[in-house]
Chain A
Amino acid sequence: MSLSPDKLLHAYRRMRTIREFEDRLHTEIATGQIAGFTHLYAGQEAIAVGVCEHLSDEDSIISTHRGHGHCIAKGCDVMGMMKELWGSAEGTCKGKGGSMHIAEVGRGMLGANAIVGGGPPIAVGAALAAKLRGNGTVAVSFSGDGATNQGTTFEAMNMAVVLKVPKIFVLENNGYAENTGANYGCGCEDIAARAEAFGFPVFRADGADFFDVHDAAAKAIAHARDGNGPAGVYAVMQRYYGHYEGDPQAYRAKDEPRSLRETKDCLGNFRASVTSEGTLTDPQLDAVDREVLELIEKAVQAAKAAARPRPEDLSNDVYISY
């Protein structure tokens, strides 16, 4: 599929924003300013963006504990996200959600979800709503290799087929479920084949190649939008960082993360592809890089200065009985 320069720039900006967001968080977390558990998505940008470039605000996605990339790919407000990570009252979720629960429901981002396998059943429900209302939208769940070992993922796959809902299962094999290799934890090597066994097509893609993911997602989403029931996208791409920030990563060969950055970089691949084809130029892409850098810097400064929640905010946005 050939994309217009505008669309290419849009996709590149989203991927670059994710990378910059995550790399900056890695630095900021080391300063001790951000509390709690943070899981970074850097390295896998082509998957989130390759899928979400096909979606509008009316389509919905549900993500994982490693959710920043999916949020940004779906168009969530980067300022609000950064403020949320700082636990500010001005954050996307008023500081009540944090990294693992960022949501922007109005943009169809139904939440990062910190229960591995928690998301797929909920996305089936969003897809069911789309089907019942006949509005032509689709719902997407992103799951890691770890979530493909949870029963809820399989329940959701079967239910999506039975109810024939416009649901896309994006399966991201990033090599590790927490501190355990996917080739140990997934008893059957071919994760996509497991999904196919439920009776829907799964399109395989190279998770470091935006164009490959974009093409696979196009097929899966078209299948679902056309009323044929669910479809899947399977992409492999290892994460650059640890399971969580602070993870010593002793389960990985020492040079694995560095070598991944050098040999499997979706941003580098994208740049090489569009400049060699002449659809975009290096200066155009460099300009995006600079703008994104400024945006992230601005977001971090804004997050540091943003209003803190008041203790009394604890008792709103929830029904209280006692």
Chain B
Amino acid sequence: MIKENSPVILSVRNLTANVDGTPILKGINLEIKAGEIHAIMGRNGSGKSTFSKVLAGHPDYEVTGGEIIYQGENILELEPEERALKGIFLAFQYPLEIPGVSNLDFLRVAYNSRRKHSGLEELDAFDFEDLVEEKLDVVQMKASFLNRSVNEGFSGGEKKRNEILQMALLEPTLGILDETDSGLDIDALKIVANGVNQLATEENAMVMITHYQRLLNYIEPDYVHVMRDGTIATSGGKELALELENRGYEFLDEESPETAEVSA
């Protein structure tokens, strides 16, 4: 929800980034306040996923200009784990499989890193299991998932639910969901969306990167941004998503980038 006096969580200014020497992000500006849900849409190759990875600190992307101010601090020099410990969470488009590491151990290590960073005592295996069983309800997962290797042999929907479970445990200040809805059937989508809605509070903010307007029927965004060629071409309220749905991304091409900038 939009509130005038909420603190700014994320402020991105003129962010440019390369991968293998090729510019992908070409000057992104974005401000996100506590309590807000933002949707970033755009065609394949527009830079959406790159933007989410740059925010989380993926080492393959080289930031060439601009800044990312998170809770008042420029985080560009921070390692991915430092950003995570400060409350940035990225739900992956393709969550990795880690054979040999049980989901429960993985969640506990991640959870305890966060607690340690906040100066809290680490939870032992028993206390943690109690906690995690509560959180399972957020994404309607069975406890048997906890004893399986991380994401190994999980269906697409199960992997995405596992991402949301991690988010539920780590309670981020900034949750970034990279195409969490793609490849999901309607039942899985409802579970995931329901999970996100439970986790969105007045203190945190969510960024949903998505290709499809469908997700926004279940999670209502306060702002919709449309990316095109490495920049945010246009921003608006949730009605922008509907317009995209009706007219397709082609309507962006009808307006030249210059005009878009002037009108913004």
Partners in one complex: no
Q: Which residues of A contact B (CB under 8 A)?
A: none
Q: Which residues of B contact A (CB under 8 A)?
A: none
